[in-house]
Amino acid sequence: EIVLTQSPATLSLSPGDRATLSCRASQSVNTYLAWYQQKPGQSPRLLIFDASNRATGIPARFSGSGSGTDFTLTISSLEPEDFAVYYCQQRDNWPPLTFGGGTRVEMK
């Protein structure tokens, strides 16, 4: 089973700041990695698929990069609605499909 480790667990930032979130895989997942955003009381929302492709309707301030075992989600300038929990998920080696433990982006 591929283990995804997200860091940091919590990121305390202000609106307008740049957010950099990391996801590290226990073995290569090529570029088969996605990022999701989840707000309290809401279902997860796909942001990025296959490492660097923005999903439909996702603003350009969200970008993904990486391959192999190291991946990054960057939010170029945080908007108030971006404070949420972010998860990565791999689809390269399955079953099982696996998620990271999440990074909470909170307002400083």
Partner 1 sequence: EVHLVESGGGLVQPGGSLRLSCTASGFSFSYYAMGWVRLSPGKGLEWVSGIGGSGATSYYADSVKGRFTMSRDNSKNTVYLQMSRLRAEDSALYFCAKGTFVGSGTHFDYWGQGTLVTVSS
* Chain residues that interact with partner 1, rule: CB under 8 A: 32, 34, 36, 38, 43-46, 49-50, 55-56, 85, 87, 89, 91-92, 94-102
Closest approach, Cβ 39 to partner 1, in A, equals 12
User: Measured from the CB of residue 79, what is the shortest distance to partner 1 in angstroms?
Assistant: 21
Using the minimum distance from each CB to partner 1, give the nearer residue, 17 or 68. 68
Closer residue to partner 1, CB minimum distance, 14 or 56: 56
State how far the Cα of 9 lies from the Cα of 49, in Å rounded to an integer: 21
Give the residue with the Cβ less far from partner 1, 1 or 70: 1
Smallest distance, Å, CB 48 to partner 1? Answer: 9
Q: How far apart are CA 73 and CA 41, in angstroms?
A: 23
| Parallel/antiparallel/unpaired status of strands 4-7 and 10-13 | unpaired
- Asked if 25 and 11 touch (Cβ cutoff 8 Å), the reply is no
Nearest to 59 by CA among 81, 39, 42: 81
